Structure 1
Amino acid sequence: MAITNLNSSVRVTHVGTATAIIELDNLTILTDPYFSPEGTEWIGKSGAKLVNSYQPPLGLEDLPPIDLILLSHEDHKDNLDDLGRQLLNGRHVFTTTDGARNLAPRKAVRGMKPWEMVSLQIGGGRRYEITATPCQHLPGGECLGFIVTAEHFGTSNGKPNTIYFSGDTVYIEELAKIKHRFHVSVALFSLGKAMVPKPGGGMLQITMDSKQAVQLMRDIEPDIVIPLHFEGWSLFKEGKSEIEEVVKEEGVEDKFKFLAPGVDTKILFSIEEFSTPSTGWQLDDFVLDPGYVASREELRWLMLNTAQTAPPSPVHGDSFISELDTHSGEDRSSAQHTTSHLLSQGRRIEYLKNYISQVAPWLDMFDSSRAFGMQVPLLAQTSPALLCAILAISARQKERKEASDGKSTPQKSFDSLELYQEAIRLLTPLLQAHDQAKDALLFSMHSKSMDSVADCFKLSFGVTRGWIYAVL
């Protein structure tokens, strides 16, 4: 996820090829609909046979209600197949002028030319503006990208916030104009370095490669880029691994976000959402529960007692990581057995999955090493106390989210409280047994000699037993 000034929730589901579901508040957009099963064969205009080698994770029956379809071009089967055509009937569709003629007599299909803008009232009565952007695809054929904006999206540096879908195109300098008119909050790039034979011999590139994608990203400066159109077809010469390698070499891997196929993913959260609590997330019975109050006071006592009995030592915290994370084979086996037992109860597997997919990305927001998402789950395999802590914070997040969404009623007891108490119970003997862990933790929390706040976080979170403080 990325921080943005866009005043709208943005969720994206990558179905495959250039097909994506974009959810903007009450508006649901579908791009280049393709849903044919793996093994489907098509004969292109050149006579070449195309075979789909991936199975779309969603079928037509799995789709949410679609309000609007952005169709970059209708004459290529990998952008609009026979199943996708069924979705065009009775829906607003924006495409090329040739495409609109070929799709007639559908009254809601609108043909556009590059840089043309159309205003549309849809999605709960709000007004959206659709701007067509130029593409360079196959010679002699029309193709478009699209920009979606609305007044309620707000502005950044005086320019309207937008969602940009590139369509099938190679890099062209004209697209740099986007930055002069719009602030792109989310960009969906069709990549893959698709290559087709030229009539006179040789090969022609018809979609962006990784380096072109990086160049376009630098030209238009989006908050985040979602790669599409890079798997499932033999004409694609770059897949996910090649794209990842290039963006890493270019130092922009934090800008590119690959989505798990078929998974509804929140892409952006606004500054307001990040800095202020939701009005729906008010104090609930949890904070008044006597068990929670007692556990909170116990944790405070443990921390104060640790501070009083173990003054900081001038030893660099990294030296404690290997020392404290060294278990005998017997200890490690016992700890793993305990964690397996913990996960076998109730909804705890669900909480662990939620921690990895929902909680950890927030905690790792400004940490490219993804310590909470990568290191903490590994440490938790042999630390029951840490496992209980991450399950507790995940359970608490789900309880509050479900309550704010109206999916649950206020409770007098909480799974998170039970896990919170268990984490403290398991933590107590560890603090008593590992004086050096206390030293390292306190040093990391109080040291004034750190080069930066980030260094302080890395040190405090680098101590195996210190993680429990951070999570609780």
Structure 2
Amino acid sequence: MKHLEIDPETSGAPTKDHVNKSTEMPEPTTTKVHPPNKPEQETNVKFVLCWHATTILEWEGLRILIDPNFLHANDHVHLGPGELPRIDAVLLSHYHEDHFDKLVEDKLKRSLPIITIPHAKECLTAKGDKSFTAVHALDFFQSMRLDVKTGKIQGGQKPSIKVTGMPGKHVPPGPLNVANNILGTVPPTNGWMVELGYAAAADSEKFDCGHRIYISGDTLMVDEPKEIPERNTDKNIDPMLVHLGGTTIPGPSMPLLMITMDGKQSVQPMQLLNPDVTIPIHYDDYDVFMSLLSDFKKAVIEAGLSDKVVYLDRTDQFEFNVRHGITTVC
């Protein structure tokens, strides 16, 4: 497994012409704590929804920007590239403009570490002198670890994030999938398992997982994602970020193909993986969406899962705690 050590003290600004002098996370509109009765001072993980699928995860000073997109259709966004806090790495599910837009292409520092899929790496590193220079590709079920460079060593271990590619698929099996494989109209995609925990201070494969986050990415509920619980038996997930929208191409007026889960489909990974908490994202920012958040809410109520969902608005913050020495099976 590949290891990448990151020093939050020296990782620098996320963009080439960064104008925000603050390294702090954005001030949240609302903070929701998990479990709900936990005091905020006992949390050490912050998750901020910027908009669409763009989110920021902070753990022990290490910040990951997920699926960055600064262009928007309905003016929901509250963070632009110059307003980002210090970012240490990017997690990119696939190379598509609503997850990595043209403004990102132009603004992000070329040396910023990016963890993504092989197809996206090919695209990001084939831009001549504008290529990104620290791109790491993970295929399904491949992992790498981001170790935090810190003097905060506990029991010979230091904070670490293990990232594993999870299966995802935009196009269902059949003739359209065969045609897309030839034409490449819809790019390949994946999801992520992000494990927060502690690793041996020396270069080692030993990793004690304290918390596990599943990010569905833009996928349909086809056979590939159903392999996830088979490989993660008895591994607790909390929270799950599920991409909704029922995204259609070319659009709702001519919905020839749905390429992300609609409200009804999105309940299926909740039932399959049984996460403690599900947070819906990616559902109302573009006119290609055929299934809005209300469809998901209705499906959740019908499935009797309302008490396992947390709804975040833009710039809302979700906080929880990873305790050292209290580990789950990894």
TM-score bin, normalised by smaller chain: 0.5 to 0.7
The DSSP-based 3-state class of the residue aligned with 2:198 is helix
- Write the distance in 1 (CA, Å) between the matches of 2:122 and 2:224: 26
2:249 corresponds to 1:196: yes
Partner of 1:2: 34
TM-superposed CA distance for 1:229, in Å, is 0.6
Equivalent of 2:137 in 106, 111, 131: 111
Partner of 1:83: 103
2:169/2:224 contact within 8 Å kept: no
TM-superposed CA distance for 1:228, in Å, is 0.9
- Write the distance in 2 (CA, Å) between the matches of 1:88 and 1:227: 29
CA distance 1:119–1:269, change in 2 (3 Å): closer
1:3/1:269 contact within 8 Å kept: no
Q: Please show how residues 212-231 of structure 1 align to structure 2 within 5 Å.
A: 212-231=265-284
Tell me the number of residue pairs that the alignment of Structure 1 and Structure 2 aligns: 249
Partner of 1:34: 69
Higher strand fraction: Structure 1 or Structure 2?
Answer: 2
Q: Give the % identical residues.
A: 29
Cα displacement string for residues 27-69 of structure 1 (whole angstroms, at most 9, x for unaligned residues) = 21111111125xxxxxxxxxxxxxx233311112222211121
CA distance 1:19–1:123, change in 2 (3 Å): farther
TM-superposed CA distance for 1:241, in Å, is 2.1
- Write the distance in 2 (CA, Å) between the matches of 1:72 and 1:202: 23
- Which segments of 5 or more consecutive residues in structure 1 lack a partner in the other structure? 38-51, 273-472
Partner of 1:174: 224
What amino acid maps onto 1:116 in structure 2? Q
- Write the distance in 2 (CA, Å) between the matches of 1:68 and 1:88: 11
TM-superposed CA distance for 1:8, in Å, is 6.6
CA distance 1:269–1:126, change in 2 (3 Å): closer
Equivalent of 1:137 in 170, 174, 184: 170
Q: Please show how residues 55-454 of structure 1 align to structure 2 within 5 Å.
A: 55-74=76-95, 76-85=96-105, 86-87=107-108, 89-104=110-125, 105-122=131-148, 124=150, 126-138=159-171, 139-140=180-181, 141-152=187-198, 161-179=211-229, 180-181=231-232, 182-197=235-250, 203-263=256-316, 265-269=317-321
The DSSP-based 3-state class of the residue aligned with 1:222 is coil
- Write the distance in 2 (CA, Å) between the matches of 1:202 and 1:242: 17
1:131/1:148 contact within 8 Å kept: yes
- Which segments of 5 or more consecutive residues in structure 2 lack a partner in the other structure? 1-32, 37-41, 126-130, 151-157, 172-179, 182-186, 200-207, 325-330
CA distance 1:36–1:202, change in 2 (3 Å): closer
Higher helix fraction: Structure 1 or Structure 2?
Answer: 1
The DSSP-based 3-state class of the residue aligned with 1:216 is helix
Question: What's the C-alpha RMSD, in Å, of the aligned pairs?
Answer: 2.8
1:17/1:231 contact within 8 Å kept: yes
Higher relative contact order (Cα pairs below 8 Å, separated by 6+ residues):
2
TM-superposed CA distance for 1:197, in Å, is 3.8
- Larger Rg: 1 or 2? 1
The DSSP-based 3-state class of the residue aligned with 2:237 is strand
- Write the distance in 1 (CA, Å) between the matches of 2:136 and 2:248: 29
The DSSP-based 3-state class of the residue aligned with 1:185 is coil
The DSSP-based 3-state class of the residue aligned with 1:151 is strand
The DSSP-based 3-state class of the residue aligned with 1:80 is coil
1:3/1:270 contact within 8 Å kept: no
Partner of 1:357: none
The DSSP-based 3-state class of the residue aligned with 1:77 is coil
What amino acid maps onto 1:142 in structure 2? P
CA distance 1:227–1:255, change in 2 (3 Å): same
2:246/2:291 contact within 8 Å kept: yes
Cα displacement string for residues 60-114 of structure 1 (whole angstroms, at most 9, x for unaligned residues) = 222221112111111x211111222222522211111111111114221112211
